[in-house]
């Protein structure tokens, strides 16, 4: 158990990752401060509303305190970090959608890049020794992974280059490819988080997420692939597949495994690190394979329509090479298989759709 003085500040605490991390750290004995302003509902409309999740945290975690704050409010961020001086900062708040960013470039950049800088600078001023974990994204690699030789299998694309047998490593270039505006704003933040680590010797790290998922996701068409797919399946709604024959591959990691990695980093932090955090090859699936997996638990065939044009810059095949994470943190591993995760998402949506 942690000492009473261990307090963690989590931005985006009502979101998928933030809420999971809040619960995880609370269960380890931390007092937890959450920052969220339900901006997800502004980005995605009522379907993206996260107030239910905020309420769940407030009701179930006695040492959780919600702070209604916009991370773009620089003075508000400085004041909060000065007041709390947390022993760790986990920054998950973001405009998280690739496709949405093009319509709201200022909101996207101000939230993703400038919001991150606000917290980094507040941390440097008031708690520079506290581990700072930033949820980055595999979109920092832009569409460069699409230049890797691929082979087409019956239900998925697969790498046809032995160098990527275990997936994409952190040494992969983030430069000179198409990122989407979202990917570009996340690159800006990612590099800034690394810089505060290297330049100021602060214990920062970037987690370049694949598909982070779990039963607490408020999945919408533009963000939250598995969660949204399962919801469509249960509601017998048509799912739109964009290009690549539906064989595009994603690696999926349960948010609990994300939270346990963040905790491992908190306990043994390093400076300016970068990790690719996904489900790895073992937890990867194509859209077509996800339909089948979901059917196994819901009993329903997926209705879908196929649009030949892929989403701009969308990865054809992406899974993370987990070798660096597991080398640096040998006590950590993936604990939830993909079928287990899909089953949890199905059961959770069945409950939520009833109420």
Ligand X SMILES: NC(=O)c1ccc[n+]([C@@H]2O[C@H](COP(=O)([O-])OP(=O)(O)OC[C@H]3O[C@@H](n4cnc5c(N)ncnc54)[C@H](O)[C@@H]3O)[C@@H](O)[C@H]2O)c1
Structure tokens of 148? 């890797």
Among 7, 8, 10, 18, binds ligand X (CB under 6 A): 18
Spatial neighbors of 174 by CB under 8 A, at least 6 apart, are 140, 141, 142, 187, 190
Rounded CA gap, 290 and 286, in Å? 6
Choose the binding region for ligand X from 67-75, 140-148, 310-318, 345-353 (rule: CB under 6 A): 67-75
> What Rg, from alpha-carbon coordinates, does the chain have?
19
Rounded CA gap, 251 and 38, in Å? 27
The CB-nearest residue to ligand X is: 15
Among 21, 135, 184, 338, binds ligand X (CB under 6 A): 135
Structure tokens of 222? 């533009």
29-50 in b/e form (b: 16+ CB < 10 A) is ebbbbbbbbbbbbebbeeebbb
Among 87, 111, 185, 233, binds ligand X (CB under 6 A): 111
Q: Could you tell me the smallest distance in angstroms from the CB atom of residue 71 to ligand X? A: 4
Among 7, 23, 31, 39, binds ligand X (CB under 6 A): 39
- Closer to ligand X by Cβ: residue 12 or 313: 12
- List binders of ligand X among 277-316 (CB under 6 A): none
Spatial neighbors of 323 by CB under 8 A, at least 6 apart, are 166, 169
Among 50, 87, 118, 320, binds ligand X (CB under 6 A): 50
Among 81, 181, 212, 220, binds ligand X (CB under 6 A): 212
- Closer to ligand X by Cβ: residue 18 or 215: 18
Structure tokens of 85? 């001086």
Contact 38, 14 (CB under 8 A): yes
Q: Does 118 bind ligand X (CB under 6 A)?
A: no
Q: Does 67 bind ligand X (CB under 6 A)?
A: no
Q: Does 211 bind ligand X (CB under 6 A)?
A: yes
- Closer to ligand X by Cβ: residue 40 or 247: 40
Grouping H, G, I as helix, E, B as strand and the rest as coil, residue 63 is: coil
Choose the binding region for ligand X from 74-82, 123-131, 209-217, 331-339 (rule: CB under 6 A): 209-217
Among 7, 9, 10, 14, binds ligand X (CB under 6 A): 14
Q: Does 202 bind ligand X (CB under 6 A)?
A: no
Among 61, 94, 113, 316, binds ligand X (CB under 6 A): 94
Q: Does 137 bind ligand X (CB under 6 A)?
A: yes
Q: Does 71 bind ligand X (CB under 6 A)?
A: yes
Rounded CA gap, 79 and 220, in Å? 33
Choose the binding region for ligand X from 23-31, 90-98, 162-170, 259-267 (rule: CB under 6 A): 90-98
Q: Does 93 bind ligand X (CB under 6 A)?
A: yes
Among 23, 37, 248, 341, binds ligand X (CB under 6 A): 37
Grouping H, G, I as helix, E, B as strand and the rest as coil, residue 207 is: strand
Rounded CA gap, 251 and 284, in Å? 4
According to DSSP, residue 204 is labeled E
- Closer to ligand X by Cβ: residue 2 or 188: 188
Distances (CA, A) of 125 to 26, 69, 74, 171: 25, 19, 13, 31
Q: Does 251 bind ligand X (CB under 6 A)?
A: no
**H helix intervals, the chain:** 16-27, 39-44, 51-60, 74-84, 105-109, 115-126, 180-200, 225-234, 255-267, 287-298, 323-328, 338-354
- Closer to ligand X by Cβ: residue 2 or 169: 169
Using CB under 6 A, list all residues that contact ligand X. 12, 14-18, 35-40, 50, 70-72, 92-94, 96, 111, 115, 135, 137, 209, 211-212
């Amino acid at each position: 158990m942690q000492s009473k003085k261990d307090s963690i500040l989590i931005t985006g605490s009502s979101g998928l990752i933030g809420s999971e991390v809040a619960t995880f750290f609370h269960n380890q004995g931390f007092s937890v401060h959450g920052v969220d302003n339900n901006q997800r509902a502004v980005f995605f409309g009522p379907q993206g509303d996260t107030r239910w999740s905020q309420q769940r945290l407030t009701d179930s975690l006695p040492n959780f305190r919600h702070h209604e704050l916009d991370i773009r409010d620089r003075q508000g961020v400085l004041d909060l970090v000065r007041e709390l001086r947390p022993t760790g900062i986990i920054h998950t708040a973001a405009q998280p959608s690739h496709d949405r960013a093009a319509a709201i470039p200022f909101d996207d950049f101000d939230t993703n890049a400038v919001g991150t800088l606000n917290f980094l600078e507040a941390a440097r001023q008031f708690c520079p020794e506290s581990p700072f974990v930033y949820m980055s994204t595999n979109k920092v690699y832009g569409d460069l992974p699409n230049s890797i030789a691929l082979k087409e299998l019956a239900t998925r694309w697969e790498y046809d280059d032995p160098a990527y047998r275990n997936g994409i490593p952190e040494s992969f270039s983030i430069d000179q490819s198409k990122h989407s505006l979202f990917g570009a704003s996340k690159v800006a933040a990612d590099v800034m988080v690394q810089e505060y680590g290297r330049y100021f010797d602060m214990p920062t790290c970037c987690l370049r997420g694949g598909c982070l998922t779990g039963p607490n996701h408020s999945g919408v068409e533009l963000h939250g692939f598995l969660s949204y797919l399962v919801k469509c399946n249960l509601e017998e709604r048509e799912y739109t597949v964009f290009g690549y024959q539906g064989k595009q591959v994603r690696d999926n990691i349960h948010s609990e495994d994300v939270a346990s990695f963040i905790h491992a980093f908190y306990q043994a932090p390093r400076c300016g690190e970068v990790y690719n955090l996904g489900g790895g090859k073992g937890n990867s699936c194509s859209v077509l394979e996800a339909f089948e997996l979901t059917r196994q638990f819901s009993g329903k065939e997926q209705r879908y329509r196929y649009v030949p044009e892929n989403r701009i810059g969308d990865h054809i095949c992406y899974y993370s090479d987990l070798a660096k994470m597991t080398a640096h943190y040998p006590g950590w591993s993936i604990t939830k298989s993909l079928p287990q995760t899909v089953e949890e998402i199905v059961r959770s949506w069945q409950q939520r759709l009833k109420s």
